[in-house]
Amino acid sequence: MPAFRFLMIDGEGDPNTSQAYAAAVEALFSVSYTTKFMIKKGAQGIDYAVMPLEGLWWSDDMSAFTSNDRSRWKWTMMIMQPHFVEEAVIQAAMAEVRRKKALPAVDALRLENFTEGSCAQILHIGPFTEEGPTIQRVHDFIVARSALAGKHHEVYLSDIRRADPAKWKTIIRQPMMR
């Protein structure tokens, strides 16, 4: 995977119950959509789709994943930003979201280039609670050829507020040693 620019925010805890997680996702989407409309209505006049939410997941003790102790999970949630969007526009969008919505999590956002390098990935269809066997397939594939590297990465292609969990689509990506 080449380098891409992302609006990112870090946190920890159970994504199903953590207020910080919900606030992080709300801040990411609020700033990303505000940026999109600033670009569309501005001098560039470019309309584009806001990219899907992505997440990097890890723990200081990886047994937190096998034991499903989500309180010890750490995460970076992120949304890719188009190359033509200047940082000044994103900063202006952050200021606008702060003014209109007063979302404290906006202050924790950052714009950063992210490079993963060599990865293996697979499409998982179904709820997040059933990802285990799919993740294991990716890990087995990597271990047969190389070794795991980096953080577990997920790209959420479905709007989980609207889609049936049985039809949720998630790209499971894992960096690997070359």
Cβ count within 10 A of residue 114: 17
| Cβ-Cβ contacts under 8 Å for 126 (sequence gap 6 or more) | 165, 166, 167, 168
In this prediction, residue 64 has a pLDDT band, given cuts at 50, 70 and 90, of confident
CATH number for the domain that contains residue 163 = 3.20.80.10
| Cβ-Cβ contacts under 8 Å for 64 (sequence gap 6 or more) | 70, 72, 73
Tally of domains in the chain: 2
24-44, pLDDT tens digit by residue? 999 999 999 999 999 999 999
Do 110 and 25 share a structural domain?
yes
Do 97 and 35 share a structural domain?
yes
Instruction: Please give the mean pLDDT across all residues of the chain.
Output: 94
Among the candidates 82, 115, 148, a domain finishes at: 115
Report how far residue 62's alpha carbon sits from residue 89's, in angstroms, rounded to the nearest whole number.
38
Do 108 and 24 share a structural domain?
yes
Do 30 and 86 share a structural domain?
yes
CA nearest to 87, candidates 113, 67, 114, 53: 113
Report how far residue 24's alpha carbon sits from residue 110's, in angstroms, rounded to the nearest whole number.
12
| Cβ-Cβ contacts under 8 Å for 170 (sequence gap 6 or more) | 123, 124, 125, 128, 131, 154, 155, 156, 157, 158
Question: Structural domain of residue 165, as residue ranges?
Answer: 118-178
139-148, pLDDT tens digit by residue? 999 999 999 9
Do 33 and 7 share a structural domain?
yes
Do 157 and 110 share a structural domain?
no
Do 165 and 127 share a structural domain?
yes
Query: For the whole model, what pTM was predicted?
Result: 0.94
Do 140 and 84 share a structural domain?
no
In this prediction, residue 61 has a pLDDT band, given cuts at 50, 70 and 90, of confident
In this prediction, residue 62 has a pLDDT band, given cuts at 50, 70 and 90, of confident
